[in-house]
A and B are shown apart, each in its own frame.
Chain A
Amino acid sequence: MAQKKWPEGWQEVNPGCMVFRPASARDYHTGSWRAKKPIWDNKKCIKCGVCFMFCPEGCITEDKEGYFTANLDYCKGCGICAFECWPGAIEMVNEEG
């Protein structure tokens, strides 16, 4: 995972912490906060998309076959998708290491 580069010293902080580069928030990978990651069991998945709708990070996408995956660069591991998935197709699994 790419590390966010902080301003080295206070002199490099933009006045008012203004951000002059549009869409640069995507450079910050909130996935580094995660303790558990969601694993889909596609045998149980009914392709309802409730995980996609409830994901507060907007990091769940639908693949060509209609199943869902999370972009782990941004998934914080909150577990809302697993909680909402009523067929129980998503399991939160501890991150290793």
Chain B
Amino acid sequence: MGKRIGMEIALAAAEAAALCRPDVIAAYPITPNTHVPEHLSDIVAEGRLDAEFICVESEHSAISACCGASGAGARTFTATSSQGLLFMQEVLPIVSAMRLPVIMIIGNRAVSGPINIWNDHSDIMYQRDTGWVSLFAANGQETVDMTIQAFKIGEHRDVMLPVNINLDGFQLTHVVEPIFMPDQEEVDRFLPTYKPLAQLHPDKPVSMGTLGLPEIFNETMRAKNEALLNAKQVVLDVWKEWEQQFGRKYEPVESYKTDGAETVLVTMGSMGETAEIAVDELRKDGVPVGLVKIKLWRPFPFAELRKAVKGAKSLAVMDRAVSFGGPGGPVFAEIRSALYEEPKKPKTFNFIIGLGGRDVAVDDFIKMAKKAASVKKLKPEDAYEIYGVRE
């Protein structure tokens, strides 16, 4: 059996990745994810993990090394943040197009400029359409669990796609939390050895990363999209298995006190924990407010989301990124799309919050819930605001 320990979440994520026995780890340090690869390099140096730790000269090289290693049939892991993730971007859609299950921790951080090392979700939102499975953890336990689950999801034959696990920089990466850490035997039982469909090996030649001419490109994009859509069922199955073995339940969209809720807050990442307290306080005062937390960002769980917010009169969607000149934050855009064809849809309002590490307190969620509840009719361009901006 595993044990309950107090540990910094980035270190716990590294321990969880090590329990999955990766063959190759290639990473370049960047705040706030640094402790993940740093601790993994310690684990490899101590001899606790038999893996190749490649000290690369950049994030572009880190993801390229992972791509090559995964093509050779290795189980691979990397981690990054912010500018590092953006530097990887050129390779990210190639990894997914080549159907290589590279697993990556992203310690979410604002994208410069101005230069800012603190948390928001703009880094992953720039990479939204790269074809990776994207999970969002709300706390340390979810980070550990999702890291292990990610390997099983990504390596499944129906998926064969890279997976990123998003955890809020500092709010999660640098916080010590009590965590149930599974032991090696439990993880080995959950996660089988990686059996790739093909490996780059001279004994059985195979070409990967080939040219795709216009005559074939539409079909390859359709195939890639179908693979990502198929991933949802595998995510659900893997989470079911996880619940059976470890007793902790995961859902693409998690509801908190939504029964009879007229106003529903929608969050992604660690802010869901703070929003829960706000919901508790509002409920104490008899305000019918609930909370919906998104844990699976790609493929987006449209059906689950519609079900979770059914009956709500208004939604307050929280985004931690700006889509400049667009319809609001990226989560908001998804949710409006999900609800567009619904015969009875709630009013939707978007709060863009917590940019570049700005604190969002319980009181803020209470204010936003009350504002969303009082909103009457809105023009689309008035449907969002960057919350807490000083006038």
Spell out A's residues near B (CB within 8 Å): 4, 6-7, 9-13, 15-20, 22
Contacts and interface: CB of A to CB of B under 8 A. Distances in A.
B234 interface: no
A10 B206 contact: no
In the complex, which range does the number of interface residues on chain B fall in? 20 to 34
Contact of A17 (B160, B212, B226): B212
Contacts of B219: 6-7, 9-10, 12-13
A18 B100 CA distance: 11
Given A10-B222, A22-B205, A16 B160 contact: yes
A21 to B, nearest CB: 9
Given A6-B216, A22-B205, A17 B197 contact: no
Interface string B184-206: 00000000000001100000011
Among all A-B residue pairs, the 5 with the closest Cβ atoms: A16-B99, A19-B207, A10-B222, A10-B219, A22-B205
Given A18-B197, A20-B198, A13 B223 contact: yes
A85 to B, nearest CB: 29
Interface in B218-264: 218-220, 222-223, 226-227
20 contacts: A6-B219, A7-B216, A10-B222, A10-B226, A13-B216, A13-B219, A15-B160, A16-B97, A16-B100, A17-B209, A17-B220, A18-B198, A18-B206, A18-B207, A18-B208, A18-B210, A19-B206, A19-B210, A22-B205, A22-B207
B215 interface: yes
B335 interface: no
Contacts of A7: 216, 219
Given A9-B219, A19-B208, 5 more contacts: A13-B219, A16-B99, A16-B208, A18-B98, A22-B207
Name the residue in B205, B209, B210, B219 with the highest tally of chain A Cβ atoms < 10 Å from its Cβ.
Answer: B219
B230 to A, nearest CB: 11
Contacts of A19: 206-208, 210
Contacts of A15: 99, 160, 197, 223, 227
A17 B97 CA distance: 8
A7 B99 CA distance: 18
A7 B210 CA distance: 15
B227 to A, nearest CB: 7
Interface in B20-54: none
B94 to A, nearest CB: 10
Nearest to B96: A16
A16 B98 contact: yes
Name the residue in B160, B216, B223 with the highest tally of chain A Cβ atoms < 10 Å from its Cβ.
Answer: B223
Contacts of A22: 205, 207
A15 B209 CA distance: 11
Given A6-B216, A15-B99, A15-B160, A20 B223 contact: no
A50 B216 CA distance: 36
Name the residue in A13, A16, A22 with the highest tally of chain B Cβ atoms < 10 Å from its Cβ.
Answer: A16
A10 B223 contact: yes
Name the residue in A4, A10, A17 with the highest tally of chain B Cβ atoms < 10 Å from its Cβ.
Answer: A17
A6 B215 CA distance: 7
Interface string B140-175: 000000000000000000001000000000000000
Contacts of B99: 15-16, 18
Nearest to A9: B219
Name the residue in B160, B197, B212 with the highest tally of chain A Cβ atoms < 10 Å from its Cβ.
Answer: B197
Contacts of B100: 16
Contact of A13 (B160, B197, B205, B220): B220
Contacts of B216: 6-7, 13, 17
